Amino acid sequence: MADKILERDDIKLEDKWDVESLYPDVEAWEKDVDIMKGLLTEMESYKGTMGTSSNNLLKTLKLKDEITRVMGNIYVYAHMSLDVDTRVSKYQSIFDKANVLLVQVEEALSFIIPEILESEESLWMGYLEELDELKVYNHHLEDILRQKKHILSKREESILAQMGDVARAPENIYSMLNNADIKFPNIINEHGEEVELSQGNFIPFMENTNRDVRIRAFTEFYKTYNSFKNTFAATLSGELKKNLFMAKLRNYNSTLEASISNNNVPVSVYENLLNSIHHNLSGMYKYMETRKRVLQLEELHMYDIYTPIVKDADFKIPYDEGVEMIKKALAPLGEEYLKGMNEGFDNRWIDKFENRGKRSGAYSTGSYDSKPFILLNYHDTLDNVFTIAHEMGHSLHTYFTKKNQPMVYADYSIFVAEVASTVNELLLLSYMIENTEDKTKRAYLMNHYLESFRTTVFRQAMFAEFELIINKHLQEGGALTADYLCGEYRKLNELYYGKGVVIDPEIDIEWARIPHFYYNYYVFQYATGFSAAVSLVKRIKEDGVEAVEKYLKFLGSGSSDYPINVLKEAGLDMTSTTPVDDAMKVFRELVEEFDKIV
């Protein structure tokens, strides 16, 4: 972990993602913006024509695909350019421009679904039989017709589309505050040196084996967030009020139903997850007891739950070493998968290291025409190696989807999005455990597996429950004040970690630093995805080629079918409690085994 955070210009070219492969410069980007305006004018002329002939339906849907493709390029380039240095006004400007254009695109396309819903299903099915080129849109039209009672009139849909930029304001304000404007103080590290605290190095500080360093980082980090708590509460309240408004307008019973029904996922899947977790919290309590015992602490605090229990296994893994480890670990996925992965590592898909002004965290992004890019803020920790594997899982999911699907199905549901990333993490973990003879390091890796469960299943389920609670509170007429949010967040920490952990008051504000609360019920899919991945990895390791073929087919399915069906084809029924219950069984067994060896 570098003590000094570099400026963007100090980062080597080979360590930056190849955004120039999408557009060489802003001037080229502007040309596509102009092209887009022409496409939107052309789309205007198609209004009212789709129901008149199969040819007009085809022309409209193909133009919609082209507009979506070009808009994807425009938006991805703008947000990628901004995210690597959120302080640069030029990139703030083009990102704002991209958002304005996106609203115009949404408005221009807003007539399509209402027009389809104005006519009987038999008309569109007849057109599909009449024109072979239309058959590719069969599932697309089926999905539109499924949502008929939630689609408004053409005028209402147009008005909502025009409100798109306004609707994104809470998230955009939060992003600028959380990434560009918020400043953290310097702290003293374990060597007595003054170093800068940042979004990128906070978790490495929490993993530090020196407890005084952890306490200083924890206290100062959340003190900074607490000084902005009312602003963070206002932005989150604005986001959730917008979601509630949209849910009511579209005749949904709740914001949860509105969010997950888009992917035809029943609300019971969300509820089953939380119920299953509640019934299995004893495993988490046992794990916290083990952590407290091994760390030899009178009290286990929130700043003690990230530091490795097995202190002597201090992994320091440079980026290149981590990449080679990942390549070996993912070999069971076969040559086709490895070929795509090597293309990513060798052709600048990845923006590797932290610099001043860079967006925190990590993600995979891209358009239909671009590389499936990855943003990292890499530090030489084991956790960051797993982050590479995780994000490469997303990018390879995108890679195979684009390879196998037309534009209309070139994206995949967020419900399945975390499956591929977690499969990679679990394969890496399994490889490391199997190839580590050192007992201390093996115990360390088992601890990491337990931490994967804690952070990806339990922690994300806690986030999901927090979302559900505060959305229900808002729907019932309650106010989302900072004190209310902090209070509810504290109660959940007490529930999920149990009486064996001191819930420090600083953690009450942690919700303010979680960007996923602006993603509208996204986080529960980390937990369901992890559970699905546990089953898939078991099959890949036991069944070999047959399981890999099914898995690659899953990766290439995109949105050509509903996510529940796509996973059923891979052998998983996510409408049952079985995947989560099975994952919890693995966790309990792992806790018991780990408790005996440490």
Whether the predicted pLDDT of 235 surpasses 50: yes
Mean pLDDT of 256-262: 92
Provide the 8-state DSSP code for 280.
T
The yes-or-no verdict on residue 136 having pLDDT over 50 is yes
pLDDT band at 312 (very low <50, low <70, confident <90, very high): low
Print burial letters for 118-143: b (CB count within 10 Å at least 16), e (below 16). Answer: eeeeeebeebbeeeeebebbeebbee
Q: How confident is the model at residue 82 (pLDDT cuts 50, 70, 90)?
A: very high
Report percent pLDDT > 70 for the chain. Answer: 99
3-state secondary structure 77-122: HHHHHHHCCCCCHHHHHHHHHHHHHHHHHHHHHCCHHHHHHHCCHH
Token pair recorded at residue 213: 């360093």
- More confident of the two residues 353 and 4: 353
Rounded distance between C-alpha atoms, residue 236 and residue 520, angstroms: 11
Over 70: is that where the pLDDT of 2 sits?
A: no
pLDDT score of 278 more than 90: yes
**CA 62 – CA 27 distance, rounded (Å):** 27
* DSSP H stretches of helix in 185-334: 202-206, 211-226, 229-249, 255-260, 267-278, 281-294, 319-329
Q: What is the pLDDT of residue 569?
A: 84
What are the tens digits of pLDDT across the range 175-225? 999 988 999 999 999 999 999 999 889 999 999 999 999 999 999 999 999
* Mean pLDDT on 582-598: 90
Apex 392 CA angle, 208 and 75, nearest 5: 105
More confident residue, 555 or 417: 555
The predicted pLDDT at position 1 comes to 41
Domains and CATH numbers, the chain: 8-167 (1.20.140.70)
106, 107, 239, 391: the active-site residue:
391
Lowest mean pLDDT among 318-322, 448-452, 500-504: 448-452
The pLDDT > 90 percentage for the chain reads 80
**β strands within 290-349, DSSP E:** 300-301
18-28 pLDDT, tens per residue?
999 999 999 99
End-to-end CA distance of the chain: 28
Provide the pLDDT for residue 275.
Answer: 93
Query: Average pLDDT, whole number, for the chain?
Result: 93
Q: What's the pLDDT score for residue 164?
A: 83
Task: Give the pLDDT confidence of 11-56 residue by residue, as tens digits.
Answer: 999 999 999 999 999 999 999 999 999 999 999 999 999 999 999 9
Cα-trace Rg, the chain: 24
CB-count burial class (<10 Å; 0-12, 13-18, 19+) for 9 = exposed
Q: Is 391 a catalytic residue?
A: yes
3-state secondary structure at position 48: coil
